[in-house]
Structure 1
Amino acid sequence: MSTRSTDPPPIRSRIDRALIRGAAGATAVLLLTSCATLSSGNGERDNVPEDVSTDITDEPVELTLAYTDDPPSTELVEGFTEQHPNVSIELQQTPFTDYVKTVTLSMSSDEAPDIAQYNPGAMRSLIPSGHVMDLEPYVEAYGWEESFPEATLEPLRADEDATRFGTGSLYAVPGALSVLGVFYNRELLARAGVEEPPATFEEFEDALAAVDEEGIAPFSVGGLEVGGFQVWNTLLNAFGDHEAYRDWVHGAPGSTIETDEAMTATGILTRWVEAGYIPESANATSDDDAKAAFGNGESAFLMIGNWAAFEMEEALGEDVGFFLLPGEDPDQVPMTSGSSVSYTVSSGTEHPDVAAAFLDYLSSPEAARIQLDTGFMPVDTDASTGEGGVLEEINSVYGTAAEQDGIVPFPDFATPGMIDQLTPGVQGLIAGSTDEETFLSDLQAEWDRVHG
């Protein structure tokens, strides 16, 4: 995810396998009418398929899928192959820390996996070299611009040189969505006299002051890992110029993160540090320890993504809620960073139509159930858990933001090395060893190194 550090870590799966088995016969197996040709006549790799088909052969097909996050990869593969029992998909998992290097090497080899979990850092070399499939012919064949929300497809587009994202051809589709926001403890807020989630940023800061005055820690923060920069990221969502920010992440020429809006967001973070709202121990606290502290009722708020939902609901039950950090105007479009566990197809696959059928399956109602049950937002934003609780709240706010074009990328998508500036940079802000200007300047210097 760049690197994909803000994407969810592995989560305990709650798949209802009986539901998946019941859906196995919902889609008929179709006869293959054509096969996409991915090699040009001069022997050079051609990544644009021709004569694509949405039909699937009933002959045995073996595919491989390389991935790093689990779930939902395993569960989605199981759901697809139960609908298409003639298709088997071998899973090849690589730890996140090794994934960019591993998938770059494997996708450029003669034995590339047919499908791979998408990673922008790897795409910077795989797209220009033609090793991943340009999916535009399948976009038209399947109607993906209708079945996948545009906000989820935009970050998966790139130009031919992979120097700019958010434009050009589509190279992957989402298999599950994530969204950054604020978990809160209803019981602790009520104790401090706060009865409703804040509708404006001013109300949010009033809530911080109220719980602090009550002797309740406002935040749990995992500054040792990515939790610190998720706080900054959340503030940037509430105060940033979102079009300028999108341009910056996507590598548009002349873009900068050294804006008044980013300075405002960064200044609020340092002000929270000075006020004691950010714990002094934050830089020595892991993400897991921060989640555990919030789950144990030790703080009122936790800024993290929906991937923590099952853990928080299990710990706090009906006391846990979720909202997007509001801005100064209660009527402004809700903005949040979100991304997806997405999948791309090798241009060397012998079964491009079957691989594309797997990608299309990711937008189906059956896949939506799997995505929900593994703690992610479904690609079908109209899907509902039907169970209420925090998962329903998360799905609702994500759907509202997506409908209003309010989903923006995570900042570490901007360059492969941006995470290496963000994490220690925010640690410096928390420790007081880095000022706001230097923090933003260092981020821009990394951006200029790649895009300047």
Structure 2
Amino acid sequence: MSITVTDGWGTEGGGAVFAKVIKNFETKYPNVTVHRQTTDYNSYQQTVNLKLNSPNPPDVMMLETSGYGQGFYGAVQGNKLLPLDSYSKAYGWDKRVGSDASLNVFRMDPGQHNLWGSGTLWGVPEQNSIIGVFYNKALLKKAGYDSPPTTYDDFVKTLAAAKAKGVVGIEESSTFIHTEMALWDSFASSADQVNKWVYGASGSFADTANMKAAQAIQDWNKKGYFQSGAVGTSDNDAAAAFLGGKAMYYVEGSWMSGGVEGSLKKDGGWFPFPSASANSPVGGGPTTPLVIPAKSKHQDVAAAFLNYFLGQEATDFMFQQGWGLPGAQISSTLTTAGTPTAAIVASLAKAEGAGGGGTTPFLDWADPAYSTQLAGELQSLAAGRQSPTQFAQKIQNEWTQFHSKRKS
């Protein structure tokens, strides 16, 4: 028996780790041979639709994003994917990713005009993530604080204190998207408040919580809490500046933890973005779906591979090999106490577990146009070229138009 697995991780870094996972799967199941097809990420994205539309597609495939972004939405629309609900129930995948709600990001309901976030399960995550605050302990101390803030009001006080001491409060990239996510979540009263809008079910980008978030971004830039020229700073340059010790905070995804620990060493830390509401969610959650094409000739074996990928053995192995945070939960004993990674793992497990505030997906997955529009409008907002009301209304107008077309 053989199956074909295709991905865009290549042969270096994470791609090399994935190759080892495949080898370990074959060792555990010697009656199965896995033929892997891989290339670099950019080249892979150009061939996704060709692979999905092939009369003989691979048995397991990687897609770029869930939601209404490239790949996932179109694949469900075109009936190209195999529903995974029966396999998830049989294998207990919801328990491996924290809760059943964590898998909503890979659900889409054909009976509701392919509404994202509910209905049929079409994929499982290859990674997990959380948006939070990386910080430089030495610069926080220079601003007058020995420990990071735990409330939103105190967070803002540390920004003012840093400004007074000549310290850059937040190193920001020109996209502003992760800061916008963190702020909306902070002001929101529940994950549903944000998720219903992101998934396209209901709500408004101009709700009270997000209006506060938009106002905060504009105010912070005006007050100099971001570095000079933040509106024109690339993601790479912002990351390099923070890792080079030039700012107190960096609001970013958990994938930065290795770089922070390697560059800032004992001065590197992480904490959840402080909440202004008792039940606030956190941005992030499972990413990059692995799917089974509907025309796979070996669906049960492909599902067994996904189950192995989500299992404790493979999950812990990937984490130890430098994969980052795998889609399923790692053993808590694998992290080193006091490190950003340990804080991230604990916070994400709490958010996604029973009684946690939950996670909200990346905002630019909410509409295909947002991959370019959202960052541009956030730049205009931060620079004061438009009001928070104007900003929110533009984004909401696009949302309304897209979902009107989706339902037609």
TM-score (norm 2): 0.88
Residue number in structure 1 paired with 2:160: 209
Per the TM alignment, residue 269 of structure 1 is displaced from its structure 2 partner at its CA by: 0.6
Matched-pair contact (CA < 8 Å) for 1:239–1:327: yes
1:159 maps to which of 91, 103, 109: 109
Residue number in structure 2 paired with 1:266: 214
What one-letter code is carried by the residue in structure 1 that aligns with 2:33?
A: V
Instruction: List per-residue Cα deviations over 1:282-320 (Å, max 9, x = no partner).
Output: 122111111111111110000110111111111100111
What one-letter code is carried by the residue in structure 1 that aligns with 2:395?
A: L
Correspondence 1:79 to 2:21: yes
After superposition, the Cα gap between the structure-2 partners of 1:164 and 1:411, relative to the gap in structure 1 and judged at 3 Å, is same
Per the TM alignment, residue 95 of structure 1 is displaced from its structure 2 partner at its CA by: 3.3
1:401 maps to which of 334, 339, 351: 351
Alignment of 1:187-266 (within 5 A): 187-223=138-174, 226=175, 228-241=176-189, 242-252=191-201, 254-266=202-214
1:176 maps to which of 112, 123, 127: 127
Residue number in structure 1 paired with 2:387: 435
What one-letter code is carried by the residue in structure 1 that aligns with 2:258?
A: F
After superposition, the Cα gap between the structure-2 partners of 1:160 and 1:384, relative to the gap in structure 1 and judged at 3 Å, is farther
Matched-pair contact (CA < 8 Å) for 1:72–1:374: yes
Secondary structure of 2:7's match?
strand
Secondary structure of 1:82's match?
helix
Whole-Å separation in 2 of the counterparts to 1:212 and 1:338: 32
Correspondence 1:64 to 2:5: yes
After superposition, the Cα gap between the structure-2 partners of 1:363 and 1:231, relative to the gap in structure 1 and judged at 3 Å, is same
Per the TM alignment, residue 437 of structure 1 is displaced from its structure 2 partner at its CA by: 1.3
**Structure 2 residue ranges without an equivalent (≥5):** none
Matched-pair contact (CA < 8 Å) for 1:174–1:362: no
What one-letter code is carried by the residue in structure 2 that aligns with 1:297?
A: G
Per the TM alignment, residue 405 of structure 1 is displaced from its structure 2 partner at its CA by: 4.0
Secondary structure of 1:113's match?
coil
Correspondence 1:105 to 2:50: yes
Whole-Å separation in 1 of the counterparts to 2:110 and 2:81: 11
Instruction: List per-residue Cα deviations over 1:251-291 (Å, max 9, x = no partner).
Output: 11x43211111100100110001101122311221111111
Matched-pair contact (CA < 8 Å) for 1:76–1:367: no
Matched-pair contact (CA < 8 Å) for 1:371–1:378: no
Per the TM alignment, residue 73 of structure 1 is displaced from its structure 2 partner at its CA by: 5.2
Pairwise CA RMSD of aligned residues? Answer: 2.2
After superposition, the Cα gap between the structure-2 partners of 1:98 and 1:116, relative to the gap in structure 1 and judged at 3 Å, is closer
Instruction: List per-residue Cα deviations over 1:372-417 (Å, max 9, x = no partner).
Output: 5222255125544232311111111111111214211111121122
Instruction: List per-residue Cα deviations over 1:210-242 (Å, max 9, x = no partner).
Output: 11111111111111xx3x221111111111243
After superposition, the Cα gap between the structure-2 partners of 1:217 and 1:320, relative to the gap in structure 1 and judged at 3 Å, is same
1:124 maps to which of 59, 73, 83: 73
Residue number in structure 2 paired with 1:303: 251
Whole-Å separation in 2 of the counterparts to 1:355 and 1:136: 14
Matched-pair contact (CA < 8 Å) for 1:175–1:343: yes
What one-letter code is carried by the residue in structure 1 that aligns with 2:125?
A: P
Whole-Å separation in 2 of the counterparts to 1:218 and 1:304: 14
Instruction: List per-residue Cα deviations over 1:326-365 (Å, max 9, x = no partner).
Output: 1225x44553333323201111112212211121122222
Number of aligned positions between the proteins: 387
Alignment of 1:364-383 (within 5 A): 364-369=311-316, 370-371=318-319, 373-377=322-326, 379-380=328-329, 382-383=331-332
After superposition, the Cα gap between the structure-2 partners of 1:449 and 1:152, relative to the gap in structure 1 and judged at 3 Å, is same
Secondary structure of 2:147's match?
coil
Residue number in structure 2 paired with 1:28: none
Whole-Å separation in 2 of the counterparts to 1:368 and 1:431: 43
Per the TM alignment, residue 74 of structure 1 is displaced from its structure 2 partner at its CA by: 4.5
Instruction: List per-residue Cα deviations over 1:169-191 (Å, max 9, x = no partner).
Output: 11001122111111001111112
Correspondence 1:89 to 2:35: yes
**Structure 1 residue ranges without an equivalent (≥5):** 1-58
Between 371-380 and 354-363, the greater mean CA deviation after superposition = 371-380
Where in structure 1 do 4 or more consecutive aligned residues deviate above 6 Å?
Answer: none
2:263 maps to which of 315, 339, 344: 315
TM-score (norm 1): 0.80
Per the TM alignment, residue 96 of structure 1 is displaced from its structure 2 partner at its CA by: 4.7
Residue number in structure 2 paired with 1:286: 234
Per the TM alignment, residue 129 of structure 1 is displaced from its structure 2 partner at its CA by: 2.5
Secondary structure of 1:328's match?
coil
Per the TM alignment, residue 424 of structure 1 is displaced from its structure 2 partner at its CA by: 0.3
Whole-Å separation in 2 of the counterparts to 1:240 and 1:298: 31
Correspondence 1:410 to 2:362: yes
After superposition, the Cα gap between the structure-2 partners of 1:333 and 1:270, relative to the gap in structure 1 and judged at 3 Å, is closer
1:349 maps to which of 288, 296, 311: 296
Residue number in structure 1 paired with 2:59: 114
Matched-pair contact (CA < 8 Å) for 1:152–1:340: no
1:340 maps to which of 287, 312, 323: 287
